[in-house]
Amino acid sequence: MYNPFINSKLKKLYQNDKHRGEFLNLNEVKTILVLFDTVDYEEADLLVEQLLKAGKQVRVYAYKDKKDEYDYSETPYKIINSKEATDWFDNKIDEIVEKISSFRYDLLLDLTIKRNPVLEILALSAKARMKVGYKKGEQSPYDLSITNLNVDKSDNNLQVRELGKQIIHYLSTINKA
């Protein structure tokens, strides 16, 4: 997605990024912000349910591309439509960033496989002690980047499922006492 408005915000956020993350074990984590693309709803939802069953407080924001025609009005997650996120005049992205950055999270999990500048803005703006996601390019907002999923690259759902498994594995073994 190329949008000069979004790309300009993203560039500025990377230039001003002062985040210095911590490496936390999953047992230390109480609050989590999860980001994902709605094309991966089912896989992301499974991971969110797993985190909720583990007693974590989870907030979820998902990006809905204009090609996605599914009605997410019944979902408990905040859905960000591509139009509202990239509209120069409406400027909803600033409102969303303000909401996200008004809360401090222990952990940010970005479950996107393909680069999504809108969710990247949210990841950079979030106040999280630790940020984890799949490395998609040279610049990364994450403290822990997963780089190899060892699954069929053409199956996005399988990639997201594997990403979730690896994230849980790494977070369960980091700083284990």
The pLDDT score that the predictor gives to residue 85 is 74
How big is the CA angle at 7 (ends 6 and 9), to the nearest 5 degrees? Answer: 65
The answer to whether 116 and 10 have CB atoms below 8 angstroms apart is no
> Going by CATH, does the domain composed of 30-173 fall within 3.40.50.2000?
yes
The pLDDT score that the predictor gives to residue 176 is 65
The pLDDT score that the predictor gives to residue 140 is 83
Separation between Cα atoms, residue 163 and residue 125, nearest integer Å: 22
Residue by residue, pLDDT tens for the chain (177 residues) are 557 667 777 778 767 777 678 888 899 999 999 999 999 999 999 999 999 999 999 999 999 998 999 999 899 999 998 877 776 666 788 888 899 999 999 999 999 999 898 999 899 999 999 999 998 877 888 888 888 787 777 777 788 888 998 889 888 888 665
> Domain spans of the chain?
30-173
Return the structure tokens found at 72: 């997410």
Distant-in-sequence contacts of 1-9, Cβ < 8 A, 24+ apart? 1/82, 1/86, 1/116, 1/117, 1/118, 3/86, 3/117, 5/86, 5/88, 6/85, 6/86, 6/93, 6/117, 6/118, 6/121, 7/117, 9/93, 9/121
The answer, as to whether pTM is greater than 0.95, is no
Identify the CA nearest to 94 among candidates 177, 176, 2, 13: 13
The pLDDT score that the predictor gives to residue 18 is 78
The pLDDT score that the predictor gives to residue 148 is 78
